[in-house]
Amino acid sequence: MSARARKPAPAPAAPRAARAVRPEVAQFLEHLAKERQVSPHTVKAYARDLADFAEFMDRFSGGSWDFATVDRLALRGFLGAMERRGLARKSMARALSGVRAMYRFLQVHQGLETSPVRAAKTPRAARKLPGYLDRERTEALFQGAEARAGNDGDASGLRDLAILELFYSSGLRLSELVGLNTSDLDLLSDQVKVRGKGRKERIVPLGSRASRALRHYLDAREDEARRPSADRSAVFLGKRGKRLSARTVQRLVHRALDTVGGDGLKTHSLRHTFATHLLDAGADLRAVQELLGHASLSTTQIYTHTSVERLKKVYQQAHPRA
């Protein structure tokens, strides 16, 4: 038996949570959480991706490296390793985004001069077209919700209707809706203040039906709001007076979507429906971008696939030989 075979087996790798985090990575994650107020989910994702990158660099360099010595060859090796692991292009792009953000932090805060990520191309993932409701099913959704609100005899039906109306009227994300406080609502001016990704605030108009549904719900929820443990600042409350959880909102929206044959549609589909119907009606793409709170116009452009019907009507009306 060879000497190599006689060596004891290496100890199993420690769980990632127990592995030491490089000091500069810890500083970067703290900067994201405290100074930039990035969401905890994003911080955790960056932490995982940077841990993967550090683990790869340990193998690639034999354990001796720092961010200043990483070159393009190492970065290409990292991307290749992820591809061999069978990671989706979306996951690879997210990991590269985390490494790129780490290098920007080092350049600004620690004077690092060069970044190997600057010339790296982000793997492009195939974009899935967002699911949404057509006009007919949207009307059926609200007819059913209005009927349930009238029959339930308590605040829950009115609450569920207000949630559906708000999603469709203002295009909110799930986290944005759950985090709403009563102080964010301006029902006199029919608008709502929304805290989006990165704690960025935006003012979004409320449709008249959404505003009316919210008024009716807020009037009807007095029993829940009077409980000693009630979260009176929250807009949407459960039966015990606590702020409604994201999981509860997802369940009630999915039940409502199932009633109109929304198989495969999720809570986010109401946000997609909001954007799709605006563009189909001729809304400006940049206006829709601001309403959705998208940082990049390219993110909003995915909705333009739904405007074919509107473009055909324009063509028929304007082209001499249509």
Annotated domain spans of the chain: 19-109, 135-262
Q: Does residue 103 have an active-site annotation?
A: no
Annotated catalytic, 271?
yes
**pLDDT value, residue 11:** 40
CATH for 135-262 is 1.10.443.10
Q: Tell me the C-alpha distance between 126 and 104, whole Å.
A: 27
The CATH number of 19-109 is 1.10.150.130
Mean pLDDT, consecutive 10-residue segments, the chain of 322 residues? 42 46 91 88 92 92 88 90 87 89 92 83 70 92 92 83 96 95 95 89 94 94 81 89 93 94 88 91 90 88 67 76 71
Residue 290's pLDDT is what?
92
Catalytic, out of 90, 148, 215, 268: 268
The answer to whether 100 is a known catalytic residue is no
Q: Which of the residues 173, 195, 216, 266 is marked catalytic?
A: 173
**Catalytic residue (choose from 159, 271, 272, 277):** 271
Of 48, 90, 148, 197, the active-site residue reads 197
Which position among 159, 272, 277, 294 bears the catalytic label? 294
pLDDT of the residue at 152? 66
Question: How far apart, in whole angstroms, are the C-alpha atoms of residue 5 and residue 127?
Answer: 48
Q: How many CA atoms lie within 13 A of 71 on its CB side?
A: 3
Burial class from Cβ neighbours inside 10 Å (0-12, 13-18, 19+) for residue 319 reads: exposed
Residue 143 corresponds to which amino acid?
Q
Q: Is position 197 annotated as part of the catalytic site?
A: yes
Which pLDDT score, from 0 to 100, does residue 211 have?
A: 96
Residue 230: CB atoms within 10 A of its CB come to 18
pLDDT in the model for residue 316: 80
Based on the residue annotation, tell me whether 268 is a catalytic residue of this protein: yes
- The question of whether 173 is a catalytic residue gets the answer yes
Fold agreement between 19-109 and 135-262: no
